Each structure stands twice: as C-alpha cells, then as structure tokens.
Chain A
C-alpha cells in the first residue's frame, strides 16, 4: 500500500492523459477506501486518497489541485468492492475537466452521487447478502468438523471475487467514463446529461435521508395502556418526517454559513442531553 506521495515519472508526453501507472496506483489505494470511515462523510477521505494519483498528474497548479481535492472530500459511500467503479469514472471526468475549460466540475460529484445508491444496492446484496454468507457457510461446516483449512478457504473464496471485482471496476469505470464523455460531448448533450445526473443524484440523496438518517422520540402522551407515542403521531402525519426536518435544518445552517464542526458538536450535545432528559 502506498502511503507516500512522491512525484511520479510520466511515461507519455501528454500530461493530461492518465496512464496504467496512475490507474494501478489508484487500484491499490482504493483498498483503503473504507479505512477512515466516519459518521459524517463516511468514505469521503478514502475516496479522495484513491483519487490522488490522478489529481497529481492532471493538476500541476496548486489551486486546481485544491479545488479537486476539496471536491472529493464530499460524502461518499458505495459497497467497498464496487467503489473502484466510481473512482474510475471520476478519474475519467477529472481528466476531461483538466482538458476542457468549459467542463462543469460540479457534474463530477453529481455523477458520483447518482451512482452511490444503485451501486450500493447491487453491491450490498451480492457481497454482504450472498457471497459472504455463502463462503462463511462453507467454511463453518468445515471448521465445525475440525478442519483447519476453513479460514483460508473462506478468505480465498471471498477475496477471489472481491479483488477481481475491484480490478475490473476500476479499469472498466475509467474506460466507461472516457468513452461516455467523448460520446456525449460530440452529440452536444453534455449540459443535459449533467442536469440529469444532478436530478438522479438529488433523488438518491432524498431517498437516503429517509432511509439512512434515524431520529426517534421517546416521550408519550398519557400513561399506561392508553399512552400514545409522540413518535407514532409524527410518523402518522408523514413517515420519516423527523429525519427530513433534521436534514433540512442542517442544510439551512450550512447555507447560513455555519461550520461543519459547530454543527457536529451541536448534534452531540442535543443527542446526549436529549437522552438525559428522556427526549430520545
């Protein structure tokens, strides 16, 4: 695993074209995509780390590098085994962004956001829902019979698909991104595609706000068997209303210029105090 970021030797003359060298380096780096997982932006740091070889090649100027790095610090979460697909596509888009001044850089994150939901849906069900229980089940039956080969078999079965999928995803993602961009550029529908990606991205973010944010209130009205849970009343008006209000509230705070650190501390204070007084 590479941890240093020493300057790399370019093998071709064109400075704005990624080579197999950068892509391989991104492949290895994407092994750590889940390594700094946190509750605020999940895999964002791992994503940015995976993108660095491409960004270093494409953006020699400091301010371009800063903009690109900041771009990839946004929320990211895709089943790890499939995440290199997003890395590959984003690399192809960054390549285009470095070459074409009229390219709308925001579209890169729009495409990333619109891929998160579908890829995770597929990836979670294949890797966590099928492959791991399958490999685990086979290995467990061996282990219970006392066969010490069980853990090795488990790892080989799982990682054959895990690592193979990662490799294919990264290179296919890059190819796909490149051919897709040049195709739509020729047909002149670039701007429309970006609006489309933005729409799908927002649909997915809206859906994730409903399914991945949890806020539940504990208090009830009345007591004994006749008690009515306030949470039930609120969800009766509109399901997942509290997660929506919380997401919108935080959005407003961000627009008002609140720093993410302040919001973060606020979430904690409210959560712990809320539990103390019995609100949650």
Chain B
C-alpha cells in the first residue's frame, strides 16, 4: 500500500511537471491512466479508464479565464480508485469529477496566494537586475506546486476515497465560492497594470473601444485585434496617427 502510494505520487509528479515541459500534454488522462494502470499492475483497466476520462474531459482547457476542473489529480485518483476498488470504468468518472473540482480549489489557492507571492518576490529581483533571482522564483513557483500536488495525490490515495470525500465536505462553501470569485476578478489587476503602462491621453479611448466591441457585440479578441489593424492602417492613410511628444507625462489619467 505504501509502495503503491509512493508510485502514484511519482506518476502525479510527472503529470504536474507538464506545464514546465512545453505543455506537452503528459498530464492528460489518456497518458496518466495507462501509467497508473501500469504501476498498479492493471494496464488494461488503466487504458480503458484513461480513454473514458480523456473523452469526458476533452473540451477542458483554460481558454481565457474559464477554469476547467483540475484533471491531473482527478484523472490519476479516479483511475487508481477504480482499479483498487475493482469498480471499473463507470465508477472512475463518478470519482474523478468531485476530486477534480476540489483539486481545482487547491490549485486556485496555490495560483492566487503562493504563486503570486513568488511572482512578487521575482519583481524585487527584477528591480535589482538580478536575473538568477527571477529565474529562481519562476522555478520555485513551478516545482513547489508540482511537489505539493504530488504529495496530496499520494496521501489521498493512501487514505482512500471515503476519507477524501468526508474531508471535502468540511471546507465552508462560501470560502470555495469566494476563491472562484477572486479568480474571476484577478485578471483585472493584470490588465490594469498593463494598461497603466501603455496609456496616454491620445490613445486612452481605444481601451474603451476595445471593451465596448467585446461587451456589446461579443467580438472575440482576435477579431478586435484585426479590426484594430485596419483602423490603424486607415488612420495612417489619413495621417491621423498622432505622434506624441517623446515626453509623455506619467500621471495622465483615463
């Protein structure tokens, strides 16, 4: 049991390294399912569960800020519990979904608190011109998450599915919801930072134009950028592109 838990932890570690290995998709159920099957000695079930989960989660990918369930932990534990309980393919999906939702919660906490802490530490190194400090924070942010998640998956496998489900019920719903709400608001901080870098009086209205086109007409971001290119080309032809004085005052406002 301990050996199996360790092996499952290693499979999880491998899967969670995906985001630093060129987003090579090694975290997908179709890859990790058979791998879990292999370490637990039931490759055939692993293959079948992996394929079933892969098909179920096929559409899930962070596009923009929409949050898909965390399929790495969900896929591994779903497959593992399906094999150890002997319940097979059907039970795997029922187990994988709640686990994936809670893993998403942990991921949110990590992406919001821990990784942002590393991000801000990195900012300090950047301001000092210390590139190895920046690199170190990036790597710690990456690897620490993989290790923490692998440990959690390993522990969850060790304590078994009923204990995991009981624990999930303890977390108050308003905290779960609050983190989801915060994850929806946070990109606004990134955009505000970006805008404050680009904005000056001449071009500030374009922020609102972009917003209105997306909000009222629902034009995707790509469409708006393409419209922007045409707009800029037309402005160039009409010689309307204001070339601001090189000294643009920093405290211009919207």
Could you say which of A12-20, A92-100, A117-125 contacts chain B?
A: A117-125
Q: Residue A136 contacts which of B28, B135, B226, B236 (CB distance < 8 angstroms)?
A: B28
Let me know if A81 is at the binding interface, CB within 8 A.
yes
Look across to chain A and name the residue whose beta carbon is closest to the beta carbon of B38: A148
> Does the CB pair A48–B138 fall under 8 Å?
yes
Let me know if A128 is at the binding interface, CB within 8 A.
yes
- Size bin of chain B's contact surface: 35 or more
Q: 1/0 contact trace for A244-257 toward B, CB 8 Å?
A: 10111011011100
The prevalent SS among residues of B at the interface is helix
Taken together as a complex, chains A and B put the C-alpha atoms of A261 and B147 apart, in Å, by 25
Let me know if A113 is at the binding interface, CB within 8 A.
yes
Let me know if A260 is at the binding interface, CB within 8 A.
yes
Q: Residue A52 contacts which of B63, B135, B220, B251 (CB distance < 8 angstroms)?
A: B135
Look across to chain A and name the residue whose beta carbon is closest to the beta carbon of B22: A31
In the complex, chain A residues whose CB is within 8 Å of the CB of B155? none
> Does the CB pair B204–A202 fall under 8 Å?
yes
Let me know if A63 is at the binding interface, CB within 8 A.
yes
> Does the CB pair B112–A268 fall under 8 Å?
yes
**Quick one: given A49-B138, A260-B120, are A121 and B24 in contact (CB under 8 Å)?**
no
In the complex, chain A residues whose CB is within 8 Å of the CB of B244? 195
Which residues 215-274 of A sit at the B interface, judged by CB distance below 8 A? 215-216, 238-240, 243-244, 246-248, 250-251, 253-255, 260-261, 263-264, 267-268, 270-274
Which residues 39-76 of B sit at the A interface, judged by CB distance below 8 A? 43-44, 47-48, 50-52, 54-55, 58-59, 61, 63-65
In the complex, chain B residues whose CB is within 8 Å of the CB of A201? 194, 198
Taken together as a complex, chains A and B put the C-alpha atoms of A203 and B208 apart, in Å, by 7
> Does the CB pair A271–B182 fall under 8 Å?
yes
> Does the CB pair B188–A213 fall under 8 Å?
yes
Taken together as a complex, chains A and B put the C-alpha atoms of A4 and B208 apart, in Å, by 43
Taken together as a complex, chains A and B put the C-alpha atoms of A253 and B188 apart, in Å, by 12
Q: 1/0 contact trace for B91-105 toward A, CB 8 Å?
A: 000000000000000
> Does the CB pair B119–A40 fall under 8 Å?
yes
> Does the CB pair A209–B115 fall under 8 Å?
no
> Does the CB pair B134–A196 fall under 8 Å?
no
Q: 1/0 contact trace for B237-250 toward A, CB 8 Å?
A: 00001111010000
**Quick one: given A274-B178, A280-B181, are A80 and B188 in contact (CB under 8 Å)?**
no
Which residues 118-164 of A sit at the B interface, judged by CB distance below 8 A? 118, 120-122, 124, 128, 132-133, 136-137, 139-141, 143-144, 146-148, 150-151, 154-155, 158-159, 162-163
Cβ distance A210 to chain B, nearest Cβ, rounded Å? 4
In the complex, chain B residues whose CB is within 8 Å of the CB of A133? 58-59
> Does the CB pair A159–B199 fall under 8 Å?
no
Taken together as a complex, chains A and B put the C-alpha atoms of A238 and B217 apart, in Å, by 12
> Does the CB pair A75–B19 fall under 8 Å?
no
Identify 22 residue pairs between A and B in the complex whose beta-carbon atoms are under 8 Å apart, listed by A's number.
Answer: A32-B21, A35-B138, A36-B137, A37-B19, A38-B111, A38-B112, A45-B118, A49-B139, A56-B131, A72-B126, A80-B23, A113-B198, A117-B225, A118-B222, A121-B223, A143-B34, A207-B213, A238-B215, A247-B188, A254-B192, A268-B182, A272-B175
